[in-house]
Amino acid sequence: MKKQVAYSAQQQAQGQPTLEGVAASETPRAVENKGQRLFRSLRQRNFRLYWFGQMVSLVGTWMQSIGQAWLVLTLTHSPVQLGVVGALQWLPVLLFSLFGGVFADRWPKRRVLLITQTAAMLQALLLWGLVATSTVQIWHIYLLALLLGLTNCLGWPAGRAFTVELVGREDLPNAIALNASLANLARIVGPGLGGVIIALRGEAALFLLNALSFLAVIAALALINTRLLHAQPAPQGSVSGPQTIWQRLGEGIAYVWKTPAVLSVILVVALVLLFGSNFNIFLPLFATAVLHAGPSGFGFLSAAIGAGSLLAALWLAWRNQQPAMRRVLAGVLLFGVLEVGFALSPLYPLSIALIAGVGFAETTFASLATTMLQTVTPDHLRGRVMSVQVLFFDGTVPVGYLLVGWLASLAGPSIAMLICACLCLLIAGVGWRWREVVAGSVSK
């Protein structure tokens, strides 16, 4: 403990972020009742506008997600084509998200988001036009999925980095948790609503509604008062003359590499997400072959994940607690233990409870990690650090799907998930040891 305190004190003296968060530098918050604590960041007008705009837009995005999958199956009757379209949409994130962070730091993030949200709206409108005129072909969907992926390369780093500008560092944990609750709520409502719309009006109506949903967030961005944003100017001397894109990119990567508080969070959480967070692939197999619950059982398992994730996001929003590496690792540890239990469970009711816990733990450590990264990163580098997060947290999704699918084909769903869960526990142990070693070596 003495070594850890010495390490934190030395880092704070040097102006460096610590592995145990930055709560010591925050100003004391006034005593609030429970309701005020839960929605604390919504008291700020800019965040309130953006949050409600996102509420509409994210539901539309999840509607289009299932509409696009249904359209691909209708056109091709091939599950392989679903994988191709998904890969094309995620491939740009894997290849180009780092450059998106460079532009997110170079340009005002509000302007970047206005551009990317408008581009996504035009993509949805084009897809609607092709479907409504019965001229859509599979190559059209390939191209539009690729374009949407390119848009996300720029929009995701800017969007994540923009949150702290909307609310400031003190309310950041609450704002990120509220964003997570919104994403999980949209994940529950959007697909169900999309299925109803497809059944009643067809895919064209769904794509049109998604395009119109972007108007909410575009209007919110346009109404944001830029004078109330919390961004701070870059420190004097941090940039010597004009920089090329490659120099800016190198500056961001160097910061991540040389800052233990950032590097440890990114590597630990990225590996856990790679091995442990692709359990959606297992769920149909568990529902049918292991738990013998059929399609309805699969639906309830999926809903349980969403319910657990939503509960975690609301709990984090209520606590509004500054993050620390030990809390991230505790969430990873709980995540691995619950996955082990789910892999070994032969009882359907127990499996429902365990998979809900898995969703709760995943949202907890992922939200804490995002909050920690945004809190410790200087304003002028936040877009680039968020782009590294997008690369490692989101860009590795296709790789994880392939790995998990391969393991399940070799050993079955239970053994495959057990292997992945044990890897997550190993990563948590290594991360904890790394935290102690780094703290001890710096304090000497």
pLDDT in tens, 253-307: 999 999 888 999 999 999 999 888 877 667 777 877 888 887 677 777 877 888 8
Residue 354 in domain: yes
Tally of CB atoms within 10 A around 134: 7
- The pLDDT score that the predictor gives to residue 361 is 95
Tally of CB atoms within 10 A around 409: 10
How many independent structural domains does the chain possess?
2
Cα-only R_g, the chain: 22
Residues 142 and 289 in one domain: no
Specify the range with the lowest mean pLDDT, choosing from 8-22, 153-167, 391-405. 8-22
Euclidean distance between CA atoms 91 and 145, whole angstroms: 10
- Average of per-residue pLDDT across 318-325: 80
Residue with the two structure tokens 């040097």: 14
CATH for 356? 1.20.1250.20
Annotate 204-248 with DSSP letters as a single string: HHHHHHHHHHHHHHHHHHHH--GGG----PPPTTSS-S---HHHH
Q: Which pTM was predicted?
A: 0.79
Give the whole-number percent of the chain exceeding pLDDT 70. 86
Residue 19 in domain: no
Strand partners for 18: 21
Residue 142 in domain: yes
DSSP state of 377: S
CA 323 to each of CA 168, 350, 409, 430: distance values in angstroms, whole numbers, following the listed order: 15, 31, 38, 19
Residues 115 and 263 in one domain: no
Helices (H), 77-108: 79-106
- The pLDDT score that the predictor gives to residue 5 is 37
The boundaries of the domain holding residue 348 are 256-444
Cα 353 to the chain's mean position, in Å?
Answer: 23
Kindly state the tokens that stand for 154.
Answer: 């720029």
Q: Over 70: is that where the pLDDT of 242 sits?
A: no
Residues 224 and 264 in one domain: no
Residue 32 in domain: no
Closest by CA position to 432, among listed 272, 306, 206, 320: 272
- The pLDDT score that the predictor gives to residue 9 is 40
